[in-house]
Amino acid sequence: MTPILPPARVAFIGLGVMGAAMAANILKAGFRLTVSTRSRDKAEALLAAGADWAPTAQDAADGAACVCLCVPDTPDVEAVLFGDDGVVHGAAAGTVVIDFSTIAAAASADFARRMAERGVVLLDSPVSGGPQGAIDGTLTCMVGGADAGFSAARAVFDAVGKTITLLGPAGSGQICKSANQLIIVAAMQAAAEALTMGRKAGLDPALMRQALLGGSARSFVLESHAKRMLDGNFKPGFRAELMRKDMRLALGAVRENGVFAPSTALAAQMMEAVVNSGRGGDDCASIGALVAELSGVKG
């Protein structure tokens, strides 16, 4: 396939916190950018920077060498791709579609098969790195799909990510993202329990965290999420309700692959509990507040 290089046209559909930042970096990389989202207000900054507006996903895909999307869940992706005004009706044969959403792996594989029937390559590429990584263009992209499409779209990936890995056939990126999320939630659960144990035993949890960061327990979760727990800062970077969705996907993935996964089951249950406790709109690190609350620790 022909490499997709600036100034080729790239479409981006879905301009939430992550999508808007990724689209901005694609524009900065020199691509001509067309954007589409349910609320045009979210596109104003990109339009002011030189992007073009498309009222539908079909219109956005028309004339684009690459179409990117970043939407909340599996049904949203299916609607964007195959709805009445979906990408499939506007994309020409040879177009590469990159789905940056986090959705079910089996659905990603099915969507790729359906797009391939139209001559369109679909790559699933859920990302990790959070809003700041999206702004900085340093996301980790976990990619599944055809090698030819991946190679053709490499410059688009380079505009948004730093660690970009083709993991296997369609759906592989979603499996890797489920692994990423279950590791994070399991580690957050452990950190929350450890810090609460320290508090109940009379230790200064901030000093305890400082000591742990000097040993083998050091991790991004201890550096970042545990700090949020201690500060009581649950302004959403990644909302608990979205992490709950991701853990449901992880739970489905381990079941489909016949994995003995008690940690995944517990992590999924804990995210259900976090959301059901009224913290769905808070950062997922609010799992720390729930563990403290259930342990009889206030503040």
Concerning whether 177 is annotated as a catalytic residue, the answer is: yes
Query: 259 Cβ partners below 8 Å, 6+ apart?
Result: none
Over residues 142-180, the pLDDT tens digits come to 999 999 999 999 999 999 999 999 999 999 999 999 999
- Cα 26 from chain centre: 17
Over residues 86-117, the pLDDT tens digits come to 999 999 999 999 999 999 999 999 999 999 99
For residue 7, whether the previous peptide bond is cis, meaning omega lies within 30 degrees of 0, is: yes
Q: Is residue 299 scored above 80 in pLDDT? A: no
pLDDT range class, residue 182, cuts 50, 70, 90 = very high
pLDDT range class, residue 298, cuts 50, 70, 90 = confident
Backbone φ and ψ for 164, nearest 5 degrees, come out as: -125, 115
Among 177, 200, 227, 298, the one annotated catalytic: 177
Alpha helices in 128-171 (DSSP H): 130-136, 147-152, 154-160
All structural domains of the chain, each given as residue ranges with its CATH number in brackets, are 9-168 (3.40.50.720), 176-294 (1.10.1040.10)
Would you state the pLDDT for residue 288? 97
DSSP for 74-124, written as a single string: HHHHHHHHHSTT-GGGTPPTT-EEEE-S---HHHHHHHHHHHHTTT-EEEE
pLDDT range class, residue 207, cuts 50, 70, 90 = very high
Report CA-CA distances (Å) from 211 to 204, 205, 218, 278, 292.
11, 10, 9, 32, 20
59: number of CA atoms within 13 Å, CB side?
Answer: 9
Alpha helices in the chain (DSSP H): 17-28, 44-48, 57-61, 74-82, 105-116, 130-136, 147-152, 154-160, 172-200, 205-213, 220, 226-231, 240-256, 262-274, 287-294
Over residues 257-271, the pLDDT tens digits come to 999 999 999 999 999
Beta-bridge partner residues of 34: 11, 52
| Separation between Cα atoms, residue 247 and residue 68, nearest integer Å | 24
| Block residue for tokens 């592989």 | 172
Taking residues 22-36, report their average pLDDT.
98
Over residues 237-248, the pLDDT tens digits come to 899 999 999 999
